[in-house]
Amino acid sequence: IGHLLRDSDRLDERTAFAHETMLLTRGQPVIYYGDEQGFVGDGNDKDARQSMFASQVPSYLDDTLIDGAPYGSGEHFSTEAQLYPLISELATLRGETPALSTGAQIELYAEDGAGVYAFSRVDREEKIEHLVALNNASEERTVTLTALTPGATYSPLYGDHAAVTAATDGTLEVTVPSLGAVALVADQPVAAAGDAQEITLDLADGGKVEGRAPISATVAADRWAETSFSWRLAGEVAWTPLGTAEDDTPRVFHDVADLPVGTLIEYRAVSTDASGERVADSATAVVGADLSATGSQDGDTGEVDEQSVTVPGSHNAAMGCAGDWQPDCTSAQLGLDADSGKYTGTFDVPAGDYAFKVAVGGSWDENYGAGGVPGGGDITYTHDGGPLTFWYDPVTHVVQNSAQGPFITLPGSMNAALGCPEDWMPGCMRTWMQDADGDGTFTFSTEDLPRGSYEVKVAHGGSWAESYGVDGVPDGANHTFSTQDGEIVTFSYDLATHQLTIEASDPLTAGSGKQLAHFVDAGAIAWPTNLVTDTSDVRWELFTAPDGGISVAGDEVTGGQSLGELTLREGGLDETELEGRAHLQGFLALDLPELDREVLEQALRGEIVIAQHGADGIEALT
């Protein structure tokens, strides 16, 4: 301590104050030999501490003690030297006073910056308040605080302070010397909470927990109490203790990093005051997703609006809806995961066979079925009963629940580059691998990785509880791969063998291999706006090939025949064209060139694509 404070003014007083702070606060005090003799030392390993025996070492002999006196060549075992009497007094006091050695520490007062910090130490068996006040300011301070024992008289235990009596509301004045400490002890046990006793978990039902999650509660202020926290998975009977807090701002931490995203947890807090009276509160939370009605999921208020995502199906009544197949039911609403832009939700569903779809906007106007197909077939599953988690991707429109198969992600050194809060996050939905056709092969592709080398594993359930490395070995070695800027990196995972393959390839023309445009009728095409940055210098051309094989080579479309250019229509699709097609709202309207019906019918029997030409060549092909 002396070396740490060596450049401070009033070095001896500050060193004494540091020991007072250490020996009067909660924790295990550690006193380095020689501190009681006023040693300062030169630092740097071997010179960090002088010998207490008589010495002839030059680097020791030229040192000074905390009061400026020379270290000297004699021995240093004086019981009167420097801090010895102070440390001895504090150590004896701490050893004889259970509240100061192992008691709870309840904060009473703290000034911003230099000033007074006051707290009470209370042993759970004695329940007698020991009030401690520290002052690191350069002048004496008098403060008014609220103690834990209203009406009690506090006698001096350490330091220079007169006895003082607390008012009926617990308030009292304490004067603390500059760079000093005082300790007072009450003449009666701490007060019970009485009518003020209450407890509320600081967690909205359905709130999000992740990582090392803080779990706290609000209890009666300015009263001693012990608050115990416990948890269990939804549907289980036994509780697992988390810990006990001993102040009026109780908090513990729960490490949920290994629990799958969407896991539903129950928490319970029980608070016992000085009289033994108990109060309790319970709440639920979801790992990795905020599904509370007051949650912070991108402004989600729990009401179904045009941006809402629900899972209407034969399970809705079990979720709390008025009936089944209700796309506007708030009880079947998924919450937005702000880190990934995807949606998730966990529901308690009884055992059974079910079918469902995903709906956007609270109606059937925009809905997706198996494989993410607009208006597609029902998705069926069998559930064993209990918590059921759903995941939905608003880009691919693929939806999956935990009864259909594992939730698979790619934790690795590239996670942060893809938008996850940090690397190696198995719970980050940014790398959610999807099996749209249900063949057991899960895929994920991205062209957003910067040039570099990366490592990755496959994780099941959004945690490290089940993961696979090279050759499909459980918890095996990391896969490694490299990529260049703009390359498409495709990950394919075989669920049966746990084998992961990684391929990096040159970026495809936007839309290639996808069907992003929509025929509205025989004369119009709906074109997605996310393929266009500026319509002022863009033209669209229609191509067909009877046997397929249309592709892009440089700035040319090959393997197909041009049928002419399409015309961008002012105002977009009209109301008639949008009727029953709410999912096309906002698309551009492209009018087809004048074609004979026979030519158009022939084109539709083969491959038909549209190329978007821009100033720098072909920008999109779909």
Whether the CB-CB separation of 327 and 366 falls below 8 Å is answered with no
Write out the DSSP string of 442-476: EEEEES-PPSEEEEE-EEETTSTTEEE-GGG-BT-
Closest CA to 106 of 63, 149, 54: 149
495 in any annotated domain: yes
* Residue 582 reports pLDDT greater than 80: no
4 in any annotated domain: no
Please check whether residues 320 and 263 belong to one and the same domain: no
Identify each DSSP E strand in 204-255 by its residue range. Answer: 207-209, 212-219, 225-233, 240-245, 251-255
299 in any annotated domain: no
Closest CA to 213 of 203, 227, 205, 199: 203
Closest CA to 503 of 514, 515, 491: 491
Give the span between the Cα atoms of 187 and 156, in whole angstroms: 11
Please check whether residues 417 and 396 belong to one and the same domain: no
Please check whether residues 389 and 468 belong to one and the same domain: no
Q: What is the mean pLDDT of residues 147-158?
A: 96
Please check whether residues 415 and 491 belong to one and the same domain: yes
To which H or E segment does residue 104 belong? strand 104-110
To which H or E segment does residue 602 belong? helix 597-605
Closest CA to 456 of 417, 505, 486, 496: 417
304 in any annotated domain: no
Flag the least confident range among 311-315, 388-392, 576-580.
Answer: 576-580
Q: Are strands 309-310 and 358-360 parallel, antiparallel or unpaired?
A: antiparallel
Q: Are strands 264-273 and 278-287 parallel, antiparallel or unpaired?
A: antiparallel
Whether the CB-CB separation of 573 and 587 falls below 8 Å is answered with yes
465 in any annotated domain: yes
Please check whether residues 412 and 427 belong to one and the same domain: yes
* Dihedral of the alpha carbons of 322, 327, 329, 330, in degrees to the nearest 10: 170
Please check whether residues 527 and 617 belong to one and the same domain: yes
Instruction: For residue 194, give the DSSP letter.
Output: G
pLDDT category, 106, cuts 50, 70, 90?
very high
CATH at residue 123: 2.60.40.1180
Domain boundary among 471, 505, 539: 505
* Residue 149 reports pLDDT greater than 50: yes
Q: What is the mean pLDDT of residues 140-148?
A: 96
Whole-number pLDDT of residue 41: 66
Please check whether residues 46 and 131 belong to one and the same domain: no
Strand partners, 56: none
Please check whether residues 414 and 397 belong to one and the same domain: no
Give the Cβ contact number of residue 299 at 10 Å. 9
Residues in contact with 371: Cβ distance below 8 Å, sequence separation at least 6, in sequence order = 398, 436, 437, 438
Please check whether residues 177 and 225 belong to one and the same domain: no
49 in any annotated domain: yes
User: In whole angstroms, how far apart are CA 603 and each of 561, 608, 609?
Assistant: 10, 6, 10
Domain boundary among 29, 60, 94: 94
* Residue 295 reports pLDDT greater than 50: no
Q: Are strands 212-219 and 452-456 parallel, antiparallel or unpaired?
A: unpaired
Domain boundary among 234, 252, 287: 287
Owning domain of residue 47: 11-94
* Residue 509 reports pLDDT greater than 70: no
Write down the pTM of the prediction.
0.48
Task: Pick the most confident of 114-123, 203-212, 502-511, 597-606.
Answer: 114-123
Instruction: For residue 190, give the DSSP letter.
Output: P
Closest CA to 481 of 414, 538, 434: 414
Tokens matching residue 506 = 């040159």
CATH at residue 446: 2.60.40.10
Tokens 């397929």, located at residue: 548
Whole-number pLDDT of residue 14: 84
To which H or E segment does residue 576 belong? helix 575-578
Q: What is the mean pLDDT of residues 463-485?
A: 89
315 in any annotated domain: yes
pLDDT category, 52, cuts 50, 70, 90?
confident
Tokens 């540091």, located at residue: 18
412 in any annotated domain: yes
How many domains does the chain contain in total? 6
Please check whether residues 118 and 166 belong to one and the same domain: yes
Please check whether residues 271 and 202 belong to one and the same domain: yes
Whole-number pLDDT of residue 5: 55
Strand partners, 189: 128
Whether the CB-CB separation of 260 and 467 falls below 8 Å is answered with no
Instruction: For residue 98, give the DSSP letter.
Output: H
Residues in contact with 241: Cβ distance below 8 Å, sequence separation at least 6, in sequence order = 228, 229, 230
Q: Which residues of 513-546 are buried (b: 16+ CB within 10 A; e: fewer)?
A: eeebbbebeeebbbbbeebbeeeeebebbbbbbe
Please check whether residues 491 and 445 belong to one and the same domain: yes
Whole-number pLDDT of residue 512: 67
Flag the least confident range among 209-223, 328-342, 570-584.
Answer: 570-584
Residue type, 611: A
CATH at residue 554: 2.60.40.1130
* Residue 190 reports pLDDT greater than 90: yes
Whether the CB-CB separation of 63 and 71 falls below 8 Å is answered with yes
Sheet of 180-189: strands edge to edge? 104-110, 116-122, 128-135, 180-189, 153-158, 164-165
Instruction: For residue 191, give the DSSP letter.
Output: P
